[in-house]
Amino acid sequence: MQLDLHRARPASRPSSPASATESDKADTKLVADDVFWMTYCLDRITSIATARPLALKDADVEIPLPATMRNGEPCLFAALVRQLHYLGRLVEASMSGRGNATVSGAGAEREQSREREMAAIGANLVGHYESLAPVLQLGSANLARTHDRREALSFLQLHLTHNMALIQRFLLSRAALTQTDYDAMRTAASQIVEVCMLGEELDANMLADTP
């Protein structure tokens, strides 16, 4: 945060003709943005793993999410950032209810509001995943494609984090789980197994250090 990479940058004044310096500035900005979003993703993964509040709050972030297209192709990194954005919102929603009594009418109302918020975030998470471009969907051919681009680990993490977030969505809820909820968790768990098996077929050690 001290680097201000999360801050919106003033629009640069157009100059004519475009110079190589302007191109260099654009490249530098892209790198700076990517560094910030990588840190943002790590913060969310760390938070869910340690049950600690987020260090980077969405309300403090002024720059837009990464563009879904880069160089004319669907951007894997942007998809991963958006997915972890929803995971972070789940964390914040779950943390917001800590310490609130639910016995009183006001407490019960807050709890119901929290559950509705988490359900809405869960729906957004599923909607985002289901809208992934065909080349980003889970499959051996797409994994091989990303492997050729040295993006196989990010591809696997995209699908791992989605299904892990789905499970966390129900585990973070204080409401009684329904049979449908249990079925969704079982489906997510089986998908995690499939992702791990695909990764092991490609490289037995690829997911060894994945949080």
Q: What is the pLDDT of residue 2?
A: 43
Ordered by start, the domain boundaries in the chain are 25-202
Which pLDDT score, from 0 to 100, does residue 95 have?
82
C-alpha span between 7 and 106 (Å, rounded): 37
Is there a contact between 136 and 190 (Cβ–Cβ < 8 Å)? no
Residue 4 has pLDDT above 50, yes or no: no
Whole-number average pLDDT of the chain: 86
Q: What would the pLDDT profile of 117-139 be if each residue is shown by its tens digit?
A: 999 999 999 999 999 999 999 99
Per-residue confidence band for 199, with pLDDT thresholds at 50, 70 and 90 = very high
What Rg, from alpha-carbon coordinates, does the chain have?
20
* pLDDT at residue 173, as a whole number: 85
Span 152-188, pLDDT tens digits? 999 999 999 999 999 989 988 888 999 999 999 999 9
- Write the pLDDT tens digit of every residue in 14-40: 555 556 666 667 778 888 999 999 999
